[in-house]
Structure 1
Amino acid sequence: MSTPRPGRTGATKQKLFDAALKLVGERGAASVTVDEIAAEAGVAKGTVYYNFGSKDALVDALLRHGVDLLAARLRPAGEHDDTEDALAALVDGMLGFFAEYPAFGQLLVSELWRTPGQWHGTLSLLRDDIVSIVKAQMQRVHDAGRLPAGVQVGTASAALFGTLLVIALDWQVFQPDRSLAEVRESVLLLVRGLGPQT
């Protein structure tokens, strides 16, 4: 039996990710079948099982893959010396990511707060990965005295993550005519307006 070439296997997995993301983003993970994912990807049903073992494993891998991509977009915010530039980089990273992968935003919103959710454990870990990146920057905002009195860094981090996720989804679904620059500026005005008044 021959072993699949890494490039071909990677391309097949990406086709399956893309197909699953489209379908799961539209309808939620629970209602999508392996047959539908395979048909959307243009591959045999057995290809899904060969690459992932099951639909659940595919969705789990898809969630991890998407969050890894998002984290890679957000990490460069830590390279900025100025806290305002770092926050702008976070906003740019999240909005840009969800503009490129709108179905992943739909998947996160539909599965992250589903109770009880089949992927709750995986999503909790992945959410923590993203929020920890945001939290590092919010800690800098706090240390600079720019966080309102009484607001905990953890709360501010979760709030910023949730705000950006919902704004990105709202933009993609209800206001697609708005440009990335317009949405970005609105978010930055909101974030700046929450600081202590001087």
Structure 2
Amino acid sequence: MSREDTRSRLFRAAVELIAEQGFAGTTVDAIAERAGVAKGTVFYNFGSKDALFAALLDHGIQRLALSLAEAAEGPTGASPLARLDAVVLAQLRFFDEYGPFARVLFGEMWRTAWQDAVVRLREGALGVYERVLADAVAAGELRAGFDTGTAATALFGMVLTVSIERRALRPDRPVEEVHATLVELIHGRVAGA
């Protein structure tokens, strides 16, 4: 097994266990057992449980940001709000595929110890939202002076929460149906606009 395969197995095991039991309740022994490797393999690859978790956050955030950035490119000529809708759908699909990572983000990474990861999330994933929203302001689709930073955080958090709720309580509900509802909220149609 290659080092990359081993790291992927450790990431998968760690994210599943941390999503189930929390960071504090997850041991290196349990991660190694779930990954099917010796405990020393965790230390050889990462040095500590904290370092493994930091690398896991970086890996997941990087993949999420890339997925959102690709969606934000949208088809040529797409309006900024159409690109925003595509970013929301990309986030829903990402968390549909990587549900345990969504739970880890929601429950664990906001602790003081992981503030560097929060900064990377802000620059990466939330930054995609913020750039698309800024494009919408520039195009006149959103009012001048619209707070794109707060809106980016709110949209990301909303989609994250809805993703977790869907997987936990309504896994049979199609992602596209959830997306359609979120798009209506985002465009203000619920308020009768």
- Between stretches 101-110 and 136-145, larger displacement belongs to 136-145
Residue in structure 1 matched with residue 24 of structure 2 by the alignment: 30
- Superposition pairs of residues 118-133 of structure 1, within 5 angstroms: 118-133=113-128
Q: TM-score, normalised by structure 1?
A: 0.88
Residue 104 of structure 1 pairs with residue 98 of structure 2: no
Of the three residues 11, 17, 20, the one matched with 2:11 is 17
Residue in structure 2 matched with residue 59 of structure 1 by the alignment: 53
Q: TM-score, normalised by structure 2?
A: 0.90
CA offsets 1:74-102 (integer angstroms, 9 cap, x no match): 11233233223201210111000000000
Residue in structure 2 matched with residue 157 of structure 1 by the alignment: 152
2:72 touches 2:87 (CA, 8 Å); kept in 1?
Answer: no
Residue 177 of structure 1 pairs with residue 169 of structure 2: no
Residue 113 of structure 1 pairs with residue 121 of structure 2: no
- Between stretches 184-193 and 33-42, larger displacement belongs to 184-193
CA-based RMSD = 2.1
CA offsets 1:5-43 (integer angstroms, 9 cap, x no match): xx6111000000000010011122122110000000011
Q: In the TM superposition, what is the alpha-carbon distance from 1:196 to its structure 2 partner?
A: 10
Q: Which runs of 5+ in 2 are unaligned?
A: none
Distance (Å, rounded) in 2 between the aligned partners of 1:145 and 1:25: 41
Q: In the TM superposition, what is the alpha-carbon distance from 1:147 to its structure 2 partner?
A: 2.5
Runs ≥4 residues deviating over 4 A: 194-198
Q: In the TM superposition, what is the alpha-carbon distance from 1:68 to its structure 2 partner?
A: 0.8
Q: In the TM superposition, what is the alpha-carbon distance from 1:148 to its structure 2 partner?
A: 5.1
CA distance 1:60–1:90, change in 2 (3 Å)? same
- Work out the number of aligned pairs and report it: 190
Distance (Å, rounded) in 2 between the aligned partners of 1:76 and 1:122: 21
Q: In the TM superposition, what is the alpha-carbon distance from 1:141 to its structure 2 partner?
A: 1.5
- Between stretches 82-91 and 17-26, larger displacement belongs to 82-91
Distance (Å, rounded) in 2 between the aligned partners of 1:137 and 1:195: 22
Partner SS, residue 173 of structure 2: coil
1:77 touches 1:90 (CA, 8 Å); kept in 2?
Answer: yes
Residue 145 of structure 1 pairs with residue 140 of structure 2: yes
2:61 touches 2:120 (CA, 8 Å); kept in 1?
Answer: no
Residue in structure 2 matched with residue 44 of structure 1 by the alignment: 38
- Between stretches 88-97 and 142-151, larger displacement belongs to 142-151
Distance (Å, rounded) in 2 between the aligned partners of 1:35 and 1:54: 12
Distance (Å, rounded) in 1 between the aligned partners of 2:15 and 2:62: 15
